[in-house]
C-alpha cells in the first residue's frame, strides 16, 4: 500500500481501512460478528458445547452456605433463636451465609394459587414471599450480631460482607418467577428453596448445608417406620430414585445435583438444634452427604 | 396452627390437574433473534419493524430480543476465565437487554416500552394502553441458572425465555424470528446438503437426535411440559412477508409442536 502523503490521501486510507475492518467483520450473509471462539456458531451444537466443559473457577470456596429450611422456621421461636445464636458465634471463625426457606406459608400460597388456577410461573412469582419473610425475621434476630440482609439483586456484595466479618442473610427461593419451568407431577414450581440454595452454591463454588426438621435421609420415613436407617451418603443418581420423591428434598434437587460440578459439599442435617451445624463446622460428618455429579 | 400434612404433595397434586388460567389469551409473543437478525443491523431489522408496525392495530404484541455475537464474545471470555454458568447467564442477559433497548428506541414512535422482569405484572396495562412492550428475552435466572447438561453455556437462553413468557401469559402464539426456514437436517450455513424438515414434532426431533438445532434444545422439554402453549413458529426474518403472514394469523413459517 502506498503511504498517504496528503490529508485527503490519509482520509482515504483511513476509510479504506475502516471498510476493510467492517467487511471482515461481516459474515458472507450479512451478519456482523465479533471474532471469538463462539462467533457465528450455534450455541446448540453438541460438539461445540462439549468443548466448553470443565470445572473452572470456584468463586467462594471457603464459604458455608447454610440453607435454613422452612421446616426449621415452622418449628417455632426456640429452635430458631438457638440456631441464630450458634450461627452468629460460628461466623466469627468461618465464612457463613444463611439462606432462608419458606415452609408452610409457601405451601399454603401454592395451594391457594393452584386452586385459583394460576399458571406455574404465576405460582413461582408469588411463592417466594415466605422465604423473604423468614429472611427478615432471621435478620431481625441477628441485627445486633452482625447480621446483614442481602437481597438477591445485590448478590455481588456477598464477598464484601464476608470480608467485613458480617453474617449475610439471604432468601433461598430462586428468581425463576414468571419464567418457571413447567410443573412437576405435583403441579408445583420445580424450583423451590432446596433447588434455589443448591443453584446458588453451585455458582459460588461453596459448601452447602441444608438444615431441616429431619437429621438426614433415611431408607424409609423415620416418623412411620422404626426400622428406617439413616444414610451417611447418597449419590445424586440415587437421590433421583422415585423412592425419595416424597422425601424432605424437592424432586428436581437430585437432577440438578447430578449436573453440579463446582459445589464443594452438599449435606442435609438436622436444624432443630444447633448441634449438627456445630459438629460439621468442627470437622464432624453429621446428617447425609449428597454427592454431586462432578461431570 | 397450620399443619405441614395439610399441604402434602398428594393434596396439591389433586389441585394440579386444573387447567391454568390464560392471563393474556390474545397476546402474540415474538422474539427477534440476536445473531440471526439484530446483528445484521438495519438491513434486516428495519423491514421487520415495518411489518410489525403495520400489523399492530388490533394485535396484542409483545417483543423479546435475543443476544447474539456480543453474548458469544462475552461467553467465550467467561469460559476461558472459568466462570460458572450462573455468571455467564448474567453476561448474556445484558446483551439481550441492550438489544431490547435498541428495538424500543426504533419503535418509540409506535408506543414501544422497555419492560423488565420486575415490571411483568404491568404488561396488561401497557397492552391495554395500546403500547408495545419490549423485553430482553433472557429469563431472569442469573446466578440461579441451572447447570447445563453439556458444557457451561447456559441452556435456557432467549428462545426459552420467550417461550416461557408466552406460556405463563397463556398467549395465543409464540413466534421466533430467525434467519432460516425452520429446522434442517444439519446447519444449512455449514452443510449445503442440509434439508429443511418442515413442521415437526418434538418427538421427531428427539428421534433424529440432530447434533445441531435451530432452537435451544431445552425448548423440546418445555414444549412437552407446557400446559398452555404447545408450539412455536419459526419465521425466516430475511423474508419479512413471512412475518407479516404469521402476524396476520396465516399458516406461515415452520412449527415445532410438543
pLDDT digits 0-9 by tens, A82-129: 999 999 999 999 999 999 999 999 999 999 999 999 999 999 999 999
Quote the percentage of chain A above a pLDDT of 90. Answer: 74
Model pLDDT for residues B118-170, shown as the tens digit of each residue: 999 999 999 999 999 999 999 999 999 999 999 999 999 999 999 999 999 99
Nearest to A57 among B9, B19, B83 (CB): B83
Instruction: Compute the average pLDDT of residues A229-257.
Output: 90
Cross-chain residue pair A32–B227, CB shorter than 8 Å: no
Q: Are strands A96-100 and A167-171 parallel, antiparallel or unpaired?
A: parallel
Cα atoms in the 13 Å half-sphere on the side-chain side of B106: 19
Model pLDDT for residues B48-97, shown as the tens digit of each residue: 999 999 999 999 999 999 999 999 999 999 999 999 999 999 999 999 99
Question: In chain A, what residues touch B213 (CB-CB under 8 Å)?
Answer: 42, 44
Question: In chain A, what residues touch B225 (CB-CB under 8 Å)?
Answer: 181-183
Using 50, 70 and 90 to split pLDDT, how confident is the model at A4? very low
Instruction: Compute the average pLDDT of residues B206-221.
Output: 96
Nearest to A31 among B40, B161, B168 (CB): B40
Instruction: Give the model's pLDDT for residue B3.
Output: 46
Instruction: Give the model's pLDDT for residue B1.
Output: 34
Nearest to A36 among B36, B73, B86 (CB): B73
Residue B206: which residues within 8 A CB-CB, separation 6 or more? B220
Nearest to A57 among B9, B70, B81 (CB): B81
Helix (H) or strand (E) holding B60: strand B60-65
Domain spans of chain A, in order of start: 64-291
Instruction: Compute the average pLDDT of residues B160-184.
Output: 97
Instruction: Give the model's pLDDT for residue A12.
Output: 64
Query: Does the pLDDT value for residue B8 go beyond 90?
Result: no
Which of A26-40, A235-249, B83-97 has the least mean pLDDT?
A26-40
Question: In chain A, what residues touch B43 (CB-CB under 8 Å)?
Answer: 30
Please tell me whether residue B24 adopts helix, strand or coil conformation: coil
Query: Does the pLDDT value for residue A42 go beyond 90?
Result: no
Instruction: Compute the average pLDDT of residues A186-190.
Output: 89
Using 50, 70 and 90 to split pLDDT, how confident is the model at A144? very high
* pTM of the predicted model as reported, rounded to 2 decimal places: 0.92
- Measured between CA atoms, how close is B87 to chain A, in angstroms? 7
Phi, psi of A204 (to 5 degrees): -80, -20
Indicate the CATH number for domain B22-257.
3.40.1160.10
Report which of B184, B206, B183 is spatially closest to residue B195, judged by C-alpha positions.
B184
- Measured between CA atoms, how close is B14 to chain A, in angstroms? 8
Question: In chain B, what residues touch A74 (CB-CB under 8 Å)?
Answer: 4
Cross-chain residue pair A31–B18, CB shorter than 8 Å: no
Grid cell, residue A164, equals 467485613
Query: Does the pLDDT value for residue B16 go beyond 80?
Result: no
Question: In chain A, what residues touch B83 (CB-CB under 8 Å)?
Answer: 56-57
Model pLDDT for residues A47-63, shown as the tens digit of each residue: 999 998 887 899 999 99
- Measured between CA atoms, how close is B48 to chain A, in angstroms? 16
Grid cell, residue A141, equals 434476630
- Measured between CA atoms, how close is B192 to chain A, in angstroms? 14
> Could you identify the residue written with the cell 424432586?
A251
Cross-chain residue pair B144–A200, CB shorter than 8 Å: yes
Instruction: Give the model's pLDDT for residue A15.
Output: 56
Classified by CATH at the fold level, domain A64-291 comes out as: Carbamate kinase (3.40.1160)
Cross-chain residue pair A177–B117, CB shorter than 8 Å: yes
Instruction: Give the model's pLDDT for residue A86.
Output: 98
Yes or no: say if B37 and B235 are a contact pair by the CB < 8 Å rule.
no
Cross-chain residue pair A182–B225, CB shorter than 8 Å: yes
Instruction: Give the model's pLDDT for residue B62.
Output: 98
Instruction: Give the model's pLDDT for residue A17.
Output: 60
Using 50, 70 and 90 to split pLDDT, how confident is the model at A292? very high
What strands lie across the sheet with A233-235, from one edge to the other?
A: A147-149, A167-171, A96-100, A64-68, A207-212, A265-270, A288-291, A233-235
- DSSP string of A38-93, one letter each residue: TTT--TT-HHHHHHT------S-TT-EEEEE-HHHHHT-HHHHHHHHHHHHHHTTT
DSSP H helices in chain B:
9-16, 42-55, 69-81, 85-106, 123-128, 158-169, 202-208, 218-225, 240-247
Cross-chain residue pair B69–A175, CB shorter than 8 Å: no
Query: Does the pLDDT value for residue A295 go beyond 50?
Result: no
Q: Give CA–CA dist B106/B112, Å, rounded.
A: 8
> Could you identify the residue written with the cell 420423591?
A245
Cross-chain residue pair B72–A177, CB shorter than 8 Å: no
Instruction: Give the model's pLDDT for residue B2.
Output: 40
- For residue A126, the chain B residue with the least C-alpha distance is B121
Using 50, 70 and 90 to split pLDDT, how confident is the model at A5? very low
Cross-chain residue pair B15–A115, CB shorter than 8 Å: yes
DSSP B185: S
> Could you identify the residue written with the cell 411483568?
B120
Instruction: Compute the average pLDDT of residues B16-22.
Output: 85
Instruction: Give the model's pLDDT for residue A8.
Output: 58
Q: What share of chain B is helix, strand, coil (3-state, %, to 5)?
A: 45, 15, 40
Instruction: Compute the average pLDDT of residues A153-175.
Output: 98
- For residue A205, the chain B residue with the least C-alpha distance is B84
Nearest to A202 among B79, B84, B151 (CB): B84
The rounded mean pLDDT for chain B is 94
End-to-end CA distance of chain A: 53
Interface probe with B: pick from A23, A28, A186, A263, most Cβ of B within 10 Å: A186
- Measured between CA atoms, how close is A110 to chain B, in angstroms? 8
- Measured between CA atoms, how close is B235 to chain A, in angstroms? 17
Yes or no: say if A251 and A184 are a contact pair by the CB < 8 Å rule.
yes
Amino acid at each position: 500500500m502506498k503511504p498517504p502523503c496528503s490529508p485527503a490521501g490519509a482520509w482515504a486510507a483511513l476509510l479504506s481501512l475502516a471498510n476493510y475492518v467492517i467487511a471482515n467483520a461481516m459474515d458472507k450473509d450479512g451478519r456482523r460478528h465479533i471474532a471469538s471462539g463462539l462467533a457465528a456458531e450455534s450455541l446448540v451444537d453438541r460438539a461445540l458445547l462439549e468443548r466448553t466443559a470443565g470445572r473452572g473457577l470456584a468463586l467462594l470456596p471457603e464459604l458455608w452456605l447454610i440453607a435454613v429450611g422452612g421446616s426449621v422456621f415452622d418449628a417455632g421461636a426456640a429452635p430458631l433463636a438457638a440456631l441464630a445464636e450458634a450461627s452468629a458465634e460460628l461466623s466469627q471463625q468461618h465464612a457463613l451465609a444463611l439462606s432462608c426457606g419458606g415452609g408452610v406459608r409457601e405451601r399454603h400460597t401454592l395451594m391457594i394459587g393452584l386452586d385459583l388456577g394460576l399458571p406455574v410461573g404465576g405460582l413461582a412469582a408469588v411463592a417466594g414471599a415466605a422465604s423473604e419473610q423468614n429472611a427478615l425475621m432471621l435478620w431481625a434476630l441477628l441485627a445486633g450480631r452482625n447480621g446483614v440482609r442481602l437481597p438477591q439483586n445485590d448478590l455481588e456484595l456477598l464477598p464484601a460482607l464476608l470480608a467485613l466479618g458480617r453474617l449475610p442473610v439471604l432468601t433461598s427461593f430462586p428468581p425463576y418467577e414468571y419464567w418457571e419451568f413447567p410443573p412437576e407431577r405435583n403441579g408445583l414450581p420445580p424450583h423451590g428453596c432446596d433447588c434455589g440454595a443448591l443453584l446458588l452454591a453451585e455458582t459460588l463454588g461453596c459448601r452447602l448445608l441444608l438444615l431441616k426438621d429431619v437429621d438426614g435421609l433415611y431408607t424409609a420415613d423415620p416418623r412411620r417406620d422404626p426400622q428406617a436407617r439413616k444414610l451417611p451418603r447418597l449419590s445424586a443418581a440415587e437421590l433421583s430414585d422415585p423412592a425419595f420423591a416424597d422425601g424432605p428434598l424437592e424432586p428436581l434437587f437430585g437432577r440438578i445435583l447430578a449436573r453440579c460440578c463446582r459445589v464443594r459439599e452438599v449435606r442435609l442435617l438436622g436444624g432443630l438444634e444447633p448441634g449438627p451445624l456445630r459438629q460439621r463446622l468442627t470437622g464432624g460428618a453429621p446428617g447425609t452427604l449428597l454427592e454431586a455429579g462432578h461431570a | 396452627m397450620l399443619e405441614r400434612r395439610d399441604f402434602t404433595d398428594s393434596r396439591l397434586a389433586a389441585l394440579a390437574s386444573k387447567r391454568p388460567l390464560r392471563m393474556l389469551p390474545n397476546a402474540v409473543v415474538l422474539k427477534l433473534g440476536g445473531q440471526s437478525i439484530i446483528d445484521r443491523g438495519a438491513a434486516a431489522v428495519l423491514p421487520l419493524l415495518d411489518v410489525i408496525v403495520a400489523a399492530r392495530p388490533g394485535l396484542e404484541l409483545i417483543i423479546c430480543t435475543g443476544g447474539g455475537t456480543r453474548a458469544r464474545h462475552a461467553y467465550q471470555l467467561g469460559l476461558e476465565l472459568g466462570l460458572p454458568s450462573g455468571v455467564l447467564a448474567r453476561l448474556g442477559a445484558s446483551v439481550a437487554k441492550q438489544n431490547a433497548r435498541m428495538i424500543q428506541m426504533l419503535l418509540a414512535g409506535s408506543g414501544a416500552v422497555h419492560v423488565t422482569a420486575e415490571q411483568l405484572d404491568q404488561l396488561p396495562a401497557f397492552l391495554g394502553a395500546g403500547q408495545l412492550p419490549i423485553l430482553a428475552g433472557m429469563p431472569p435466572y442469573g446466578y440461579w441458572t441451572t447447570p447445563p447438561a453439556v458444557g457451561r453455556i447456559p441452556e435456557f437462553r432467549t428462545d426459552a425465555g420467550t417461550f416461557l413468557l408466552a406460556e405463563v401469559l397463556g398467549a395465543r402464539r409464540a413466534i421466533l424470528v430467525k434467519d432460516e426456514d425452520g429446522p434442517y437436517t444439519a446447519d444449512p450455513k455449514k452443510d449445503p446438503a442440509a434439508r429443511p424438515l418442515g413442521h415437526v414434532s418434538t418427538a421427531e426431533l428427539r428421534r433424529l437426535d440432530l447434533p445441531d438445532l435451530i432452537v435451544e434444545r431445552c425448548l423440546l422439554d418445555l414444549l412437552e411440559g407446557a400446559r398452555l402453549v404447545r408450539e412455536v413458529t419459526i419465521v425466516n426474518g430475511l423474508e419479512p412477508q413471512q412475518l407479516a403472514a404469521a402476524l396476520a394469523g396465516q399458516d406461515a413459517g415452520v412449527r415445532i409442536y410438543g
